[in-house]
A and B are shown apart, each in its own frame.
Chain A
């Protein structure tokens, strides 16, 4: 049992789509921040600290917590810490926010996770996760290793392509996913040039 109980008191999400041409990165983050603050009936001045994260390579911004945390989150003259753990960044942020409060150090913490992948390249970013000598030259990003995993799992347990497709159909986002694959392929070509 933690020393201090912790609760979520407000939530904000933007609409998720492949291109947000109408806002820049801080503006997009502020949309979600404003919604969360309104939901909790809090003002920026009520926030004790900010935990924020994304993956630097995806948008090509180093120390993104400074640009985004200060300009959008609203972190000017407040404590900010950035947590970035790849695909687990969102849940790692939530865990960090929890420890900030459960430790008794802060009372009210704003936790912000974001990506604006249209302004960078997800595959370009992900391929740098792999060993630069042995794995990176494939330029396969996440798709290559995921395909290997899916192939091995399907072969071992006799999973069919139709069963896999049912997951996508259930989620109901078939078209956007096809669209996303196209985008990734374009990025791949750019790197090889």
Chain B
């Protein structure tokens, strides 16, 4: 297989309400920043893949509203409806198929403009489930309760995830919530859906992210630190919550196996230096540790206690602060990819994991890991 690399990334700061910018202006900010950083113009971009969600944008064909901002007028463009990690992979495919030399991938979300309960309730089928009022918070409560009960995971262990990610966010200038909190703060916050409290959940954020992908010879000309695409796995879990095994992320497990096989990862804790994962709530990250094979099934709680996923641990997870610190929902997967790219380029500033050579990014669609996209990157060829 040919080699595809990320040659540059750009992010906005993630904030609660970017009232002074439309989402098209958010996108323009990152596209312009990317052009300036790489010293390129719109003619150097072969085609554009965007990722967005019409419900979150309150607009059908939401990609049409940003075509001037991404420079896709009279240029090939397509839109993946959903998380940015899936759009990233479509961009990689367009280079691997030898149709394009460079692809710009852009994702945006402005959560402040819509009622997130309604957006998430409409994921459920209109015939049987939607009227029950289910959304991502109530589903997460069901999932967390079943998982914690089965594997004897405590609320304190779950709270440690929030404390870790919020502490990491202090080092990330783009992060939305940059304030250290304690386990006690999490445990004492308002109950949302037992056993999950307000601080077990992320905020909703506004922001955008863009990156340029290129085939090998062009990537080497454009940057001294190309970040090579190494592995990919995609797997979808059941739609109805009742059809899912709610205590284990089966879809993510299978997607991970596929990505590890493609990238030649045998022992993830040894082979990977850093991971950026889309954790939708505190307990979710513990379940992700298990699905990624970083620890045994049911051991997620003990794994966070061991400190291995902290910045100075053997496998730091979410040095950026993760979704629990910044949550422009549709952009989360592409932000994970961008953060891994910065890590492997050695440009992650205060959140840099020393000597990071191999990294994993995980993006998801739907309710807590229904659609799963696992991507692996290596800094050296």
A-side interface residues toward B, CB under 8 Å?
A: 1-4, 24, 49, 53, 55-63, 65-67, 69-71, 75-86, 92, 95-96, 98-100, 102-105, 119, 125-126, 128-129, 131-132
**Contact: A67 with B125, CB < 8 Å?**
yes
User: Inside 8 A of A69's CB, which chain B residues have their CB?
Assistant: 236
Chain B nearest Cβ from A1, distance in angstroms: 7
Our pick among A58, A63, A96 for the contact of B82 (Cβ within 8 Å) is A63
Q: Which 7 A-B pairs have the closest CB atoms?
A: A79-B234, A86-B61, A102-B97, A103-B96, A84-B81, A103-B93, A62-B122
Docked Cα-Cα span, A131 to B127, in Å, equals: 31
Docked Cα-Cα span, A104 to B95, in Å, equals: 11
Our pick among B99, B122, B251, B254 for the contact of A102 (Cβ within 8 Å) is B99
Chain B window 45-69, contacts with chain A (Cβ cutoff 8 Å), 1 for yes, 0 for no: 0000000011100111101110000
Chain B stretch 78-97: residues in CB contact (< 8 A) with chain A: 78-82, 86, 89-90, 92-97
**Contact: A60 with B78, CB < 8 Å?**
no
**Contact: B61 with A60, CB < 8 Å?**
no
Our pick among B53, B122, B365 for the contact of A60 (Cβ within 8 Å) is B122
Most buried by B among A58, A69, A81: A81
Total residue contacts A-B, CB cutoff 8 A: 152
Which A residue's beta carbon lies closest to that of B61? A86
User: Inside 8 A of A62's CB, which chain B residues have their CB?
Assistant: 53, 55, 119-120, 122-123
Asked if B238 is at the interface (CB within 8 A of a chain A CB), the reply is yes
**Contact: A99 with B239, CB < 8 Å?**
no
Which B residue's beta carbon lies closest to that of A57? B60
Docked Cα-Cα span, A86 to B127, in Å, equals: 25
Our pick among A61, A66, A104 for the contact of B126 (Cβ within 8 Å) is A61
| Contact residues on B (Cβ < 8 Å of other chain), bracket | 35 or more
Majority-rule SS of B interface residues:
mixed
**Contact: A3 with B96, CB < 8 Å?**
yes
Chain A nearest Cβ from B369, distance in angstroms: 11
Our pick among B79, B80, B232 for the contact of A105 (Cβ within 8 Å) is B232
Q: A2-B98, A66-B236, A99-B90 are in contact. Are A56 and B55 (CB under 8 A)?
A: yes
Which A residue's beta carbon lies closest to that of B78? A92
Asked if B192 is at the interface (CB within 8 A of a chain A CB), the reply is no
Q: A2-B99, A67-B239, A80-B234 are in contact. Are A60 and B126 (CB under 8 A)?
A: yes
Docked Cα-Cα span, A70 to B64, in Å, equals: 27
Docked Cα-Cα span, A119 to B125, in Å, equals: 13
User: Inside 8 A of B366's CB, which chain A residues have their CB?
Assistant: 63, 66
Asked if B250 is at the interface (CB within 8 A of a chain A CB), the reply is yes
Asked if B235 is at the interface (CB within 8 A of a chain A CB), the reply is yes
**Contact: A98 with B97, CB < 8 Å?**
yes
**Contact: B234 with A49, CB < 8 Å?**
yes
**Contact: A84 with B235, CB < 8 Å?**
no
User: Inside 8 A of B237's CB, which chain A residues have their CB?
Assistant: 76-77
User: Inside 8 A of A56's CB, which chain B residues have their CB?
Assistant: 53-55, 60, 81
Docked Cα-Cα span, A59 to B125, in Å, equals: 11
Docked Cα-Cα span, A193 to B120, in Å, equals: 26
